[in-house]
Each structure stands twice: as structure tokens, then as C-alpha cells.
Amino acid sequence: PRFVWLDCDPGHDDATAILLAVHSPGIQLLGISTVHGNADAENTNNNAARCLHAFNAPKDIRVCPGATKPLLRPARHDPEIHGIDGLGGVIGLPSVQSAEVRERLDAHGAPIRALEGMAEAIRTTWKQGVGNKVTVVSSGPMTNIALFVSVYPDLLDGIDEFVFMGGGVGLGNRSPSAEFNILCDPEAAQIVLDIPVKKTMIPLNVTHTAIVRDDIMRRLLSSSTAASSTVLPAADSKLRHMLFTLIGFFADSYKSTFGFIDGPPLHDALTIAYVAQPELFTCKRYRVDVELNGVHTAGETVVDVCSYRQCDDSWGRSGKNCIVAEALNVQGFFNLFLDCVARCDVV
């Protein structure tokens, strides 16, 4: 399997990334860390634990709280898209007070912090089989990852790939040119883009093709898609009903804020889909940097599509440092998503 660590800020689409991380064939989720972003860090942390329980994740998967603010800038959140607590409008998620959710938050009485959790997962994986490495996935601002690579540079050898949802090629969503995750902490993103580790970016250009249209909503409720042997009517499936309300709220936000009338894009789920089924994506390798100072363009990902800069083969500061996803097999992606729902439904 691919061993995966997920750093996220749930968030409606982060929740779908968690679902895929728990139920995609070929992926073994080692743990989750959380970061400020769509909501404040306390809420994103609680939400990750609530999702793990709702998605029947193995009990030993914990949530490790991370940075509460960006490296240099004040924290910004996105209540317009995700509600005040990050998972607005979702009906049927377990409460943060429930024993099972608390268990994931306070392992052995106290939480394990994000950097320690990641470090332990990488060390343990390496020891379990010589050469076993961890794929680190990020679906929020990159503050935790930048801190991790600064504090534990010796553990970079234990990471086989870093995959992130963020940025755009000439496209923004929280400014004319910047995407939310990068805009929240551009300095962190640049630190991570400079590390000598293979990296893959899933930008807005591709995530905006993964639109949950009515036919997908119907398949979500019909439960006849499946890998599942039991066919449940929608009303009997709490999970499907919960996901229906989750995507419904996200759809309303995307309609009122961005004018997306066909449905919302499941941005973050694509990171895990990429790890599970890379053949669903068409990609190309480029030099990618982040604009840190622009008056109008701070947080923009600058992708050197015309190979203007002289770059070597390294993944670090002097190289073509990042693989960039350019197209998605949309039908294949939604088949994977609905298969994960079906697998989760019969656990």
C-alpha cells in the first residue's frame, strides 16, 4: 500500500478527502494533522476527528493538532464557504463530545502534536520495512508542513512524495490570482516548494473540473453504484444522507459566492485520488514558486509553463520542483468517490 499522512483543515471538501483516505483501495492512512484555514484550528481539529468517526476509520487513527496561525501573517478563515465552524450545514456528524470522537482527540489523555505525529509515522514506517516511505498529503495551508521540514530535515528521506491541493495556473479564488490555501500562508508554501522531495500540485484548473453535478448526487443517494453487496435505500443510510447535506451546503456556498450553478468542486478529494489512482491524471513537471510580495498578486503560484528559467533535475531550489496536474478523468474520479462511499456504508 501507499502509506499516507494527511494534513488538512476540514472543511467540506477536506471531509471528502478524509473519506477517500480511509476507504480508497491501496491506501493505508497513518494519521491526520490539522491546521488553521477554513475555520480556526480548534474547529478544524474537532472536525477531522468527527469525520474519522463518521467514516468508520480504524480506531487507532488519531488527529494531531497543528499550527493555529500562518508563519508570518494573521490567520484568515472562510466562513462564507464553509460556515463558522468549518462544516456548516452538515446533518448527522457525531458530536465532538461523544466518547469515540474524544478518544481520537486525546490519545492517552493528551493530544499528540502535528509535527510529532508526522515524525513518528515516518520513523515507524521506515523501520517496519527498510525503504518504506510515507506520502504526505496537504489539503490546507502549508504551515505544518513548512514547520515540519524545518524542524525535522533529517526525516525528508522518509517521504516519497508530497501532494498538495493549492494554487492555480493563472487562476485564483480568494483573490484575482491566489488560491485560498496558498494565500493563507504563502511563505510556508514557498518553503515547501523548495524542499528536495518529489512534489505534485493539484491546482484549481483541475479541481474545477471535479464538479458534483445532479447525476452524482443521484448516484450518491441511490447506493446502487457499488462495490457494496447490500443495496440500501438512501433514507436508511445515515452516511449517504450526511454526505448529501455536506455537498448540498457546499453547493449553495459555491453558487452564492462564485456563481457555480452546476455544483461544487471537490478540490481536496483529488489529492487522495491522485495517490490512489495517479492514472486518472495528466501531469507535467515545471518550476513553481509563490509570489510573496505582489501588491495584487501575493499568494499567486507562478508556474513556469514556457520553461523560461534554466532549471536542473532536482526537486529543490534550483530545479523543476513540482509536477502539476493538468487534466482529470472526471468520471473515473467520481467512480472512485462513490466506491469509497459504498465501502464505508457496509463497514
The residues of the shown chain that bind ligand BDR, judged by CB under 6 A, are 11, 13-14, 38, 78, 81, 139-140, 165, 173, 179-181, 267-268
Q: Which does 7 bind (CB under 5 to 8 A by kind): ligand BDR, Ca ion, none?
A: none
State the amino acid at position 95 in one-letter form: S
Residue pointed to by grid coordinates 474547529: 43
Q: How far is the CB of 69 from ligand BDR (least distance, A)?
A: 17
For residues 324 and 286, the answer to whether their CB atoms sit within 8 Å is: yes
Does residue 14 touch Ca ion according to CB under 5 A? yes
**Integer Cα distance of 291 and 301 in angstroms:** 6
Question: In the complex with ligand BDR, which residue's Cβ is closer, 31 or 172?
Answer: 172
Looking at the Cβ atoms of 123 and 174, the one nearer to ligand BDR is 174
The CB-of-13 to Ca ion minimum distance in angstroms stands at 6
Q: How far apart are CA 22 and CA 20, in angstroms?
A: 5
Contact (Cβ atoms closer than 8 angstroms) between residue 103 and residue 59: yes
- Reduced to 3 DSSP states, what percent helix, strand and coil does the chain have, rounded to the nearest 5? 40, 15, 40
Active site residue 241: no
- Of 97, 96, 106, 90, the C-alpha closest to 46 is 96
Q: Which is nearer to Ca ion, 46 or 139 (CB)?
A: 139
Torsion of CA 313, 314, 318, 321, to 10 degrees: 90
For residues 293 and 187, give the distance between their C-alpha atoms in angstroms, rounded to a whole number: 10
Residues between 256 and 285 that touch Ca ion (CB under 5 A): 268
The alpha carbon of 245 is separated from its chain's Cα centroid by a whole number of angstroms, namely 20
Site track for Ca ion across 114-143, x = CB under 5 A: -------------------------xx---
Q: How far is the CB of 269 from ligand BDR (least distance, A)?
A: 10
Residue 31 or 158 with smaller CB distance to Ca ion: 31
Shortest Cβ contact with ligand BDR: which residue?
Answer: 180
> Cα–Cα distance between 249 and 50 in angstroms, integer?
17
Binding-residue total with Ca ion (CB under 5 A): 6
Question: In whole angstroms, how far apart are CA 27 and each of 137, 157, 273?
Answer: 12, 20, 10
Out of 53, 77, 82, 267, pick the active-site residue.
267
Smallest separation (angstroms) from ligand BDR to the CB of 176? 14
**In terms of CB distance, is 7 or 179 closer to ligand BDR?**
179
Contact 118, 148 (CB under 8 A): yes
Shortest distance, position 306 Cβ to ligand BDR, whole Å: 25
Q: Which residues are catalytic?
A: 267
User: Interface residues with Ca ion (CB under 5 A)?
Assistant: 9, 11, 14, 139-140, 268
